[in-house]
Amino acid sequence: MGRVREFDTERAVEAAMNVFRRKGYDGTSVQDLIDATGVGRGSLYAAFGSKEGVYLAAMDLYRERYAVPMIELLRGGAPARELLREVLVATVDEIVGDGGRRACLIVGAAVERVARDQEVAAHVRSTTASLEGALSQVIAEAQADGQLPGTQDARDLARYLIVTMHGLRVMGAIQPDRKSLMAVAEAALRALE
């Protein structure tokens, strides 16, 4: 029996994540993953089991790289308006700074895989629920102490901001114009008042 090649798993998952962001799940072949990661087919399957296993690992890494820092930022205790603006500005900056126009893996998975794959659906729901919870908490606390009006449900506003962030990513893939994207972000912030 041949020896399984050793490789840096995180580096391979990052390379795979970038391929999935550029090509989507269905548009990515196993050969694309082999080419991007530099890992042989046998080693890739030994480590992840399948193409879907690589995709799920990529979703986990995406969550750690993008969603978790945003959630931690929201829990940082700064004034709500500043936090919410910072989250939207960070979203716009990431879109505009991405010259490769890579898709958000969560948005891509929601569109491409959620209806067909329960494990992917669970990943998307979990990541979205975590972000929604953090946003909702910031908004509810800001409403309680008068930073934001309490006329709208905090959870509904959190969902509205998530929809706005996902919409910004879609629009940014079409035309990553910072001025236009920031106009949308500013309109979303005004809607909280």
Give the helix ranges, DSSP H, for the chain.
9-27, 30-37, 41-48, 51-62, 68-74, 80-97, 105-112, 118-144, 154-174, 178-191
CA–CA separation, 124 vs 111, rounded Å?
Answer: 11
Give residue-wise pLDDT tens across range 159-189: 999 999 999 999 998 888 999 999 999 999 9
Query: How far is 180 from 66, CA to CA, in rounded Å?
Result: 22
* Residue 1, pLDDT score: 46
* Residue 151 DSSP class: S
pLDDT for 143: 96
Taking alpha carbons only, the member of 13, 101, 22 closest to residue 59 is: 13
Cα separation, 120 vs 105, in Å, equals 11
Residue 153 predicted with pLDDT over 70: yes
CB contact at 8 A, 182 and 93: no
pLDDT-wise least confident of 12-21, 70-79, 98-107, 143-152:
98-107
Q: What is the per-residue pLDDT for 100?
A: 66
Phi, psi of 78 (to 5 degrees): -70, 165
Whether 41 and 79 have beta carbons less than 8 Å apart is answered as no
pLDDT tens string 75-123: 988 899 999 999 999 999 999 987 767 789 999 999 999 999 999 999 9
State the average pLDDT over residues 148-153.
Answer: 93
Which pLDDT does position 50 carry in this prediction? 95
pLDDT tens sequence across 17-65 = 999 999 999 999 999 999 999 999 999 999 999 999 999 999 999 999 9
pLDDT value of position 185? 97
CA–CA distances in Å: residue 99 to residues 22, 75, 103, 175: 11, 30, 11, 11
